[in-house]
Structure 1
Amino acid sequence: MARFRCGACGRKGECEYDGDRHGCPLCGSAEVVFALAIEEVPDELLAALSSLETDDEERDED
């Protein structure tokens, strides 16, 4: 389950996260923020974030 908060309708709650849908589950507005559990984050995104972390570490060493 993912938590959400909508800036348009002002409501918040929990919903099943669908990575293809980027609107409020209640009103459909794009002014919504989702908070995902780490288990729900797509593997591709985790890999991209890990590679960014590695790049930053390499820059700090220079």
Structure 2
Amino acid sequence: MREPERVGKDPEVERAAVEWIAALRERESMPETTRARLWERLEASIASDDADAETSGEETS
């Protein structure tokens, strides 16, 4: 994957992109079991956020 030299003029967007790329590299190097556990935690977190949004009346995607 080729990295862009500059993502944009917004430093906040560029910082987020750099962090995302670093996270992708880290994920690729970790064992499958660790990835599976992280995925389960992410799904649980999303479900919890969705449940919280439903009880507060917010829309979920």
TM above 0.5, one fold?
A: no
The normalised TM-score by structure 1 is: 0.38
- Higher helix fraction: Structure 1 or Structure 2? 2
User: Which structure is higher in RCO with an 8 Å CA cutoff and minimum separation 6?
Assistant: 1
